[in-house]
Amino acid sequence: MAQKHAPSELTLAGSLYHLALVEEDWMEVRFAGLPEREPWGGVDWDTDPGWEFRTACDLQKAIAQRVSGQRSRSWFQLSASAGASGIQGS
Contact 15, 63 (CB under 8 A): no
Whole-number pLDDT of residue 74: 75
Whole-number pLDDT of residue 80: 79
Measured CA to CA, the distance from residue 61 to residue 2 in angstroms comes to: 11
Measured CA to CA, the distance from residue 1 to residue 56 in angstroms comes to: 9
Q: What is the pTM of this model?
A: 0.69
CB atoms within 10 A of CB 4: 12
**Sequential pLDDT tens for the chain (90 residues):** 777 777 777 888 888 888 888 888 888 888 888 899 888 899 999 999 999 888 888 877 788 777 777 777 777 777 877 765 555 554
Q: How open is the CA angle 40-16-78, to the nearest 5 degrees?
A: 70
